[in-house]
């Protein structure tokens, strides 16, 4: 077994040799200036170089070195194998020898490592260059995505103090459905049937949760319940949704260029979407002033629209929406803001990642507006229809609990009944 230093030196030498060989091939064959070799061809070339150098290695060492060199040339270096593992949902590079992954909801360190900070920079550049983006001291962070749709965030010194940092969030090859979320025990079959009926009944739904709680997965699952024939417009910062609607237009915001020009915001896209004859508008996440435009769309002829928000509870989601609209600088009085929210958002689905890494729908709550008798202004409260009750921890310190259904009939059942759904069937335990 080679020690780490000798193996690193051999990998560096082989990487340079193979890279020079490819450059020479391109130079000597102008007609092949765009020469691209497959991983298998690069493996053969690397194996030949090992043989010429007279290195006698175990089959295991030789395979690992060849794989590493190929990944340096065609892929993303030491994290390439991690991105091919279907169980890895996130890869986090903090510094060259500090890489973590998320697997089945849990963060674990891995033994892979980069040579040095410059090696991380090379990989970041390999990701962003084909997209016409750059990262340097003048633009020290960037959002991008890989060809498979995985979301990438990179940030470099001086903003990142230790080293360039890279975070890649991967998405399932097959989009989540309500059925698959039931199989994962994120909700019950009754809850899934209820949510499906809500989507088909064109009830406006806000999905709330923290980072990594499964908001985008839930949004995908709900959007797949939209009946065929409806025109859907999606709007996102970075395109993540994997929808299969027949009549679908996907819009993506644009960051300003290095001169600070050319920015297209979520808010601008929401306003433009209203001119595109949508039946429903789906905003990947509301974070600022676009919250007002989304509420306007929900209130003015686009029922059944969906969006997500960072919040820790349904009540907190309402408060956050209110703050976003007020901070948008629209000079709307607070009672008017509350009224917009009260008549736009009908249902809030709260998702959460539990300590054991599992993701649960911890609440499906309806938004209930009422008039304050003292001043005549709208009050907003939320009431659980379903919720997850934690009973304690098991012997492995994993939470133990179960889903509970409220005995109070939800107001939205009236809208569902008008669309031909049976309230008794949708809320039957099962």
Is 388:403 a contact under the CB 8 Å cutoff?
Answer: yes
Helix axes 4-28, 39-53, angle to 10 degrees: 120
Chain segment 57-75, per-residue pLDDT in tens: 677 777 777 777 777 666 7
The pLDDT value recorded for residue 11 is 73
Is 265:276 a contact under the CB 8 Å cutoff?
Answer: no
348-385: b (≥16 Cβ within 10 Å) or e: bbbbbbbeeebbbbbbbbbbeeeeeeeeeebebebebb
**332 falls in which pLDDT band (50, 70, 90)?**
confident
Q: How far apart are the C-alpha atoms of 408 and 191, rounded to whole Å?
A: 15
> Is the per-residue pLDDT at 392 higher than 60?
yes
Q: Which CATH number fits domain 76-170: 3.30.420.40, 2.60.40.10, 3.30.450.90, 3.40.50.800?
A: 3.30.450.90
CB-based contacts of 90, cutoff 8 Å, min separation 6: 101, 102, 167, 168, 169, 170, 212
The pLDDT value recorded for residue 331 is 80
Helix axes 39-53, 59-74, angle to 10 degrees: 130
Q: Which part of the chain has CATH 3.40.50.300?
A: 178-426
> Is the per-residue pLDDT at 154 higher than 90?
yes
What does the H/E/C string look like for 344-377?
HCCEEEEEEECCCCCEEEEEEEEEEEEECCCCCC
CB-based contacts of 31, cutoff 8 Å, min separation 6: none
**2 falls in which pLDDT band (50, 70, 90)?**
low
Higher model confidence: residue 260 or residue 299? 299
Q: Which part of the chain has CATH 3.30.450.90?
A: 76-170
Place of tokens 């088909």: 200
> Is the per-residue pLDDT at 306 higher than 80?
yes
Q: Is 337 helix (H, G, I), strand (E, B) or coil?
A: helix
Place of tokens 């691209």: 36
Q: Mean of the pLDDT values across residues 389-410? A: 82
Helix axes 290-299, 314-327, angle to 10 degrees: 110
Range 178-426: architecture per CATH: 3-Layer(aba) Sandwich (3.40)
**33 falls in which pLDDT band (50, 70, 90)?**
very low
The pLDDT value recorded for residue 4 is 67
Higher model confidence: residue 335 or residue 173? 335
Higher model confidence: residue 168 or residue 76? 168
């Amino acid at each position: 077994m080679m020690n780490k230093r000798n193996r690193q030196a051999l990998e560096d030498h082989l990487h340079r040799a193979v890279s020079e060989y490819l450059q020479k091939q391109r130079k000597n064959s102008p007609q092949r200036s765009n020469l691209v070799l497959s991983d298998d061809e690069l493996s053969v070339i690397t194996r030949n170089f090992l043989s010429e150098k007279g290195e006698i290695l175990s089959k295991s060492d030789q395979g690992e070195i060849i794989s590493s060199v190929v990944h340096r040339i065609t892929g993303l270096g030491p994290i390439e194998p991690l991105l091919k593992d279907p169980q890895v949902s996130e890869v986090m590079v903090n510094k060259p020898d500090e890489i973590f992954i998320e697997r089945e909801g849990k963060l674990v360190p891995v033994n892979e490592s980069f040579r040095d900070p410059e090696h991380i920079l090379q990989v970041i550049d390999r990701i962003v260059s084909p997209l016409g983006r750059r990262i340097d001291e003048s633009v020290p962070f960037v959002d991008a995505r890989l060809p498979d749709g995985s979301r990438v965030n990179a940030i470099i010194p001086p903003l990142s103090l230790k080293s360039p940092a890279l975070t890649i969030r991967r998405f399932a090859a097959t989009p989540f459905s309500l059925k698959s979320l039931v199989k994962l025990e994120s909700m019950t079959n009754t809850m899934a049937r209820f949510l499906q009926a809500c989507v088909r009944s064109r009830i406006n739904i806000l999905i709330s949760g923290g980072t990594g709680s499964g908001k985008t997965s839930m949004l995908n699952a709900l959007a797949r319940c939209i009946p065929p024939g409806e025109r859907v417009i999606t709007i996102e910062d970075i395109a993540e949704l994997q929808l299969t609607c027949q009549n679908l237009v996907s819009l993506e915001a644009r960051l300003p260029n290095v001169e600070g020009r050319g920015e297209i915001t979520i808010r601008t896209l929401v306003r433009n979407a209203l001119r595109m004859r949508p039946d429903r508008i789906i905003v990947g996440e509301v974070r600022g002033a676009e919250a007002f435009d989304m509420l306007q769309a929900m209130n003015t002829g686009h029922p059944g629209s969906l969006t997500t928000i960072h919040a820790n509870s349904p009540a907190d989601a309402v408060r956050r929406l209110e703050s976003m609209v007020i901070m948008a600088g629209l000079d709307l009085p607070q009672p008017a803001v509350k009224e917009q929210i009260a008549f736009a958002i009908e249902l809030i689905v709260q998702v959460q990642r539990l300590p054991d890494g599992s993701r649960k729908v911890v609440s499906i709550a309806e938004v209930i507006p009422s008039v304050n008798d003292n001043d005549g202004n709208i009050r907003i409260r939320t009431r659980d229809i379903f919720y997850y009750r934690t009973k304690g921890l098991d012997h492995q310190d994993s939470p133990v609990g179960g889903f509970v259904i409220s005995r109070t009939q939800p107001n939205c059942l009236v809208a569902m009944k008008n669309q031909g759904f049976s309230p008794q069937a949708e809320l039957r335990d099962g």
